[in-house]
A and B are shown apart, each in its own frame.
Chain A
Amino acid sequence: MKFSLEWLKYFLETDASVQEIAAALNRIGHEVEGIEDPAEKLAGFRVAEVLTAGPHPDADKLQVLSVSTGDAEPLQVVCGAPNARAGMKGVLGLPGAVVPANGMELRKSAIRGVESNGMMCSVRELELGEEHDGIIELPDDAPVGKAFAEYSDVSPVFDVAITPNRPDCMGVLGIARDLAAAGLGTLKPVTSDPVEGEGEAPDIRIEDEQGCPAFYARTITGVTNGPSPAWMQRRLKAAGQRPISALVDCTNYLMLAFGRPAHVYDLAKLSGPVIARRAKDGETVEALNEKTYTLDSSMTVIADDTQVHDIGGIMGGEHSGATDATTDVLLEIAYFDPEAIGVTGRKLGIASDARTRFERGVDPAFLDKGLDILTSLILKTCGGTPGAVARAGKPPVEPTRIAFDPKLTATLAGVDVAEGEQKRILEALDFEVAGDWQVTCPPRRHDIEGPADLVEEVVRLYGLDKVESVALPRAEGVAKPTASPLQLTERKVRRAAAARGLNEAVTWSFLPTQKAQHFADGADLWVLDNPISEDLKAMRPSLLPGLLMAARRNADRGADTSRLFEIGRRYFRGADGASDEKPTLGVVLAGEKTLRGWSEGKAKGFDAYDAKAEALALLEAAGAPVDNLMVMAGEKGGAGAQFHPGQSATLRLGPKNVLARFGALHPATLKAFDLDGPVVAVEIYLDAVPARKNAGFARGPYAPPALQAITRDFAFLVPADLAAGDLVKAVRGADKQSIVDARVFDVFAGAGVPEGKKSLALEVTLQPGEKSFAEAEIKALSDKIVAAATKQGAELRG
């Protein structure tokens, strides 16, 4: 909310400076977002009199003026305004002044060869309005030489953020009251004598008591609408409210000064009784913003026999709005139900000053006074004869009473405030404090619900800065570990991935629907109702799309390689419509694994084994038993349609529990993400990694064997489609005691190997126990190995 110092001082007697007021506002919870002092912008502009005006020798449209600013010597000024003439008074910008409208600094200069010592200014140049047809003309009594800022009585403007719980401060009076309570001055009494009306009260009725509990009105006949007086316009403009006409300005003035919206109808446009009722479904109204709204039966309106004239408490209707031709008016001041206003406002998508106030709750005890003030303002500015007041319904003025224990201030806020001071603060805010600390709240304070709210009032005015820091009680000894198992896993995996040369990215949780769909695997995506853009719409079912899009952006920027990972959630629908979010690690390796180099030769891309290496290393960091994992490849592997069917697999613990998928991406995926291949990826399902049970600090017992292990090589011919892993597993299982490792060191097919076969060479490590192997024992182990391999369809090569 914006208001000028001058307006504030209308309500508050104070000597405080602008800075002191701003500091106090911040201190008591009205955050000052800005202070603008127009006087600063008008420095160097003075009231001046044009003494003589003559033609410019070299330009038809220019005149050469002799201008007095009260100093001994008049100044010569070149001016192009058609209304510049001898004897007029205007505003002269002297050299050094900066024109507010364009930021140009004025200088002594020559215009078409004639010296000019400043500029006579237009309204627009000084940002006082839009007019730019000529220079400002001041009244004859304007004192020549006076600073224009002082003459025009501009006043600093505060821009204050009013929190939604304080509608009572959405008027200057409310702010003045808070400042007075904070000790910044004295609140001036608001005088408004009741205006006695003559003649009949208007016929008004309430049919919707829920939405509109109270509706007061009166007529004023014989008004003359036109521009509002300068003092009112100045205050409205300072508050950011454009003056419209005297009648409308008066209602806006009431709203901005007292936080009280009201409405003025052109009486001539109304017929029959004026009724606060529910709208009919489908009923329409053209509002003052020139948009037509379709209403429904949940909305409260003000209507007559023929049509809706006001969306109650939100926006008036165009048809009966005040115009320059208006002579008779009906003033409406009503109390609308805050919740209903909120619902209607949201449904219609109308944000108005009236809605903001009604939705948060206006002062229900301010109807009569508000109507009197509005009537007085209109009578003063537009003339006319007021009618008697009609009152339908009753506003909810029953005050809240709270049994308050002043000790609560210390308990909740940790600050001791003397009981007398607490009482003073509350009473300064119009709370009534009885001897037994029964506190009666002013009805305008809808935000006060219980004792904690009173503590807040006391503390904010006493001073939050007086709250002393008090250390939280600390558990004895060294701080205990607090990280959750998932947090520990994520930390390890994250730092392991970074140590392996991957860059951690954080990408959006939401994706373009199409990109999400590509990874959905038939899952029903969470798609936002109101996305901010089509690119941020569907919750990700996988971490890979976001990383692939990042890799694409990197490629566009000329990157040779992207090694990216992310740890985050995948979002699925769970049971009962709740969210099922799965902690996941995604890795994407795109571009060149090794750049072309003097020793490496040609650039080399990533392949599925790179993905496998990351998958296993990171699973190990996540605490998965990587030695026991099954690699399931191909169709049955279930890595998913996004992967190359022949170059991808899942890693499983047992046949069902999939811990990860990895491999090269399918060309269709690359196409969908506009990437050049090959690109490989890993996704690790962190929630599928089993927790380590009963892990303590003690390691299993181990002593390095005293005897040296020996190795033996075996070359087998196996069916071409036999997975090497199966052969290795069989060989390792041939003697669990002595065979400690089996490693494939050669894979070969082609010349010398029969069609449909391949050669797999294994180096097997044999570990003797108590004593060295005898030849016969080695022979027996070899036989076991060959026998185990044979079961897999292998035959020993000669």
Chain B
Amino acid sequence: MSTEHEQQVTDTLERLHSADSVDQVEAIRVEALGKQGWISQLMKTLGKMSPEERQQEAPRIQGLRTRVADAVEDRKAVLEAAALEERLASETLDLTLPAPATPKGSVHPVSQVMDELAEIFADLGFSVATGPEVEDDWHNFTALNMAETHPARAMHDTFYFPDTDADGRRMLLRTHTSPVQIRSMVANGAPIRIIAPGRVYRSDSDATHTPMFHQIEGLVIDRDIHLGHLKWTLETFLKAFFERDDIVLRLRPSYFPFTEPSVEVDVGWKDVNGRRVLGGDGDAPGHGWMELLGSGMVNRRVIEFAGLDPQEWQGFAFGVGVDRLAMLKYAMDDLRAFFDGDNRWLTHYGFSPFDQPTLSAGVGAKA
């Protein structure tokens, strides 16, 4: 009996080994292990045996069953693996083909730099103030100590509207962000520490001037603020903005009707492969000075116009071109391109939305 069974198992295993489809394996399994399979039949004979006989036969028959069952599983696994391999081979993709395109957006350099400036000045305790761009001549000129006949008015290349407001003030496009000084002092009094970024306008257009550009105004009014604080503020801000410790300022006396004393600020630069890179002493070899911003102690008349007592309050103001700062920091050389909306320029010079300036990461976004 047992030799016969052994032979049968050997046959089955051989057939399994040569089976080349899962279906064949299944047929063989049913033949042996199915309900009517010969091993299953053998299992049933156990019930009729005497205990002694069963004790001897049961392990043997179980052994047969296990050997066949294992062989079935093994063969199935081999065949399935082969089938899978074949299927996968047929599913090969050419992964050098492009993936679906997703458009990449960008943040304009002017916005980016304004965010950087807001971050730096927030750390110095300056909040952000705004004002209208269509201004009246009182806020833009008179209150800034430029009476109607003041020659400095004519130097501002002002865009005018035919309108006057209810107070008979001539409407115009603000020529600087300085009117925000007046509006902030009138609205909030002193002490005050603000920056006012925004669009300004001059009827001037050439390679380096556009009729619209961006400025940022700074104003500090308190009880004992002096020129030394102004100098420190500008140095601190420029060092933080350009992320360089070697920024050197040169203060020159100048004239703005709304400040007294007035100070023009030059920054030292170095010629690096034909490009002016800020940093270093402008008088050193290979260096020079560039005029970067205007500033001064707020004229007491301006403080009076803003409704504050100049005996009690004094402070400084400064103004600087945002586009200019952007160009210097990020090495752009064409101001006109800022306002053109050219996709290619925006993509190249624009910033990732995730370059939100933070102090901990450094406010600047590296190329």
Contacts and interface: CB of A to CB of B under 8 A. Distances in A.
A476 to B, nearest CB: 11
Interface string A557-593: 1010111100111010100111101000000000000
Contact of B255 (A165, A413, A455, A599): A165
A551 B8 CA distance: 82
B155 interface: yes
Given A579-B133, A597-B98, A530 B314 contact: no
A529 interface: yes
Q: Is chain B's interface secondary structure helix, strand, loop, or mixed overall?
A: mixed
Contact of A547 (B164, B193, B341): B341
Given A343-B149, A509-B201, A411 B226 contact: yes
Interface stretch (A203-211, A284-292, A458-466, A774-782): A458-466
A18 interface: no
A187 B122 CA distance: 50
A456 B108 contact: no
B53 interface: no
B38 interface: no
B353 A495 contact: yes
Interface string B184-222: 000000000100000101011100000110000000100
Given A164-B255, A459-B261, A529 B228 contact: no
Contact of B105 (A164, A468, A479, A498): A498
B255 A28 contact: no
A586 B76 CA distance: 63
Contact of A487 (B118, B338, B356): B118
B297 A412 contact: yes
A527 B161 contact: yes
A387 to B, nearest CB: 36
Interface string B146-170: 0001111011000111111111000
B247 to A, nearest CB: 12
B261 A456 contact: yes
A346 interface: yes
Contact of B253 (A29, A557, A561): A29
Given A339-B149, A528-B173, A595-B101, A467 B251 contact: yes
A712 to B, nearest CB: 33
Nearest to A165: B255
Interface residues of B, number: 97
A536 interface: yes
B155 A469 contact: no
A413 B251 contact: no
Contacts of B344: 557, 559
A554 interface: yes
B108 A360 contact: no
A529 B261 CA distance: 35
Interface string A525-539: 011111111001001
Interface string A597-635: 111100000000000000000000000000000000000
Interface in B82-105: 97-98, 100-105
Contacts of A105: none
A499 B356 CA distance: 12
A453 interface: yes
Nearest to B164: A577
B226 to A, nearest CB: 4
Contact of A412 (B155, B171, B226): B226
A360 B251 CA distance: 25
Given A360-B151, A528-B160, A578 B205 contact: no
Interface of A: 26-29, 31, 163-166, 338-339, 342-343, 346, 356, 359-360, 410-415, 447, 450, 452-453, 455-456, 459-460, 464-465, 467-472, 474-475, 479-484, 486-487, 491, 494-510, 526-533, 536, 539, 546-547, 549-551, 553-554, 557, 559, 561-564, 567-569, 571, 573, 576-579, 581, 594-595, 597-600
18 contacts: A27-B252, A27-B253, A166-B255, A456-B260, A456-B262, A459-B261, A464-B252, A468-B231, A469-B231, A479-B123, A482-B122, A497-B353, A504-B106, A506-B341, A527-B162, A528-B161, A554-B342, A573-B163
Interface of B: 97-98, 100-108, 110-111, 115, 118, 121-128, 130, 132-136, 149-152, 154-155, 159-167, 171, 173, 193, 199, 201, 203-205, 211-212, 220, 224-229, 231-233, 235-236, 250-255, 257, 260-264, 297, 299-300, 314, 338-344, 346-347, 350-354, 356
